[in-house]
Amino acid sequence: MLSDFEQAPFGAVEFADNPEARCACLILLDISGSMKGDPIVELNRGLQQFAQELRDDRLASRRVDVGVITFGDKVDVVAQFGSAQNFFPQPLVADGSTPMGEALETGIELIAARQAEYRSNGIATYRPWLFLITDGAPTDSWERAARRIRDGEERNSFSMFAVGVNGADMKTLSQISVKAPVALNGLAFADMFRWLSSSLSSISRSSVGQAVTLANPAGPSGWATIV
């Protein structure tokens, strides 16, 4: 005979073990062929740093859920949503094109599914984050994704942030993202991920629904430039 633990759905066990309010952060990473060399090296290094900083933060490690989607040779959910305390990213390899539209739509669906899990398990939620990093232009259709992003922002279903690495099509990014996209200064991935972990840490310390003032990534000592 199965125990109650064995019979319970995985999500129910997960949330029973950690009933804290959650902020879901989905990171969409462009790992197309143009990211080969120093860019993918620095991206991997920054992602590892981000994971470590969240794990080191006692509260954020329990309240922040991280998921990762890559897009290059294909769109791949390389990390399903889970507590930051269990987030150990694997090294990424650059290859392929830039199917950004498919990646964005996959991300929107993943966030909606995670939010439904929270609701069905009585978990309070902060507004989810959709954090896009790309160094190119979409090689697939992106217009429907852009409409879904605008709709999601209007409904407060998520908040999207778009970061363009050197060579990114900032004009298209500005049509996809409701918020003005920012351009990464050089290969400052470490600074960018430090800002992201610090921002999520601040949110995790707030009350659900409370407005949180975040540092300006394009400020005097920021890691980005508004184009």
- Specify the pLDDT at position 5: 35
Provide the residue type at 124 as one letter: A
Provide the residue type at 7 as one letter: Q
Q: Which domains does the chain have, with CATH numbers?
A: 20-209+216-226 (3.40.50.410)
Band of residue 11 on the pLDDT scale cut at 50, 70, 90: low
What residues have CB less than 8 Å from 47, skipping those under 6 apart?
A: 27, 29, 68, 89, 92, 189, 193
Average pLDDT taken over every residue of the chain: 94
Summarize pLDDT for 133-162 with one digit per residue, the tens. 999 999 999 999 999 999 999 999 999 999
Report the alpha-carbon distance of residue 121 to residue 140 in Å, rounded: 36
Indicate if the pLDDT at residue 59 is higher than 50: yes
Pairing of strands 129-134, 159-164: parallel
Mean pLDDT, residues 191-216 = 95
- Specify the pLDDT at position 209: 87
Indicate if the pLDDT at residue 35 is higher than 60: yes
Residue of 195 and 6 predicted with greater confidence: 195
For residue 16 the two structure tokens come to 């029973």
Band of residue 64 on the pLDDT scale cut at 50, 70, 90: very high
Indicate if the pLDDT at residue 8 is higher than 70: no
Summarize pLDDT for 97-146 with one digit per residue, the tens. 999 999 999 999 999 999 999 999 999 999 999 999 999 999 999 999 99
Mean pLDDT, residues 193-218 = 94
Q: Could you identify the residue written with the tokens 């200064």?
A: 185
Q: Could you identify the residue written with the tokens 């109650």?
A: 4
- Specify the pLDDT at position 49: 98
- Specify the pLDDT at position 94: 98
Strand, coil or helix: 188:
coil
Indicate if the pLDDT at residue 42 is higher than 50: yes
Indicate if the pLDDT at residue 173 is higher than 70: yes
Mean pLDDT, residues 27-54 = 98
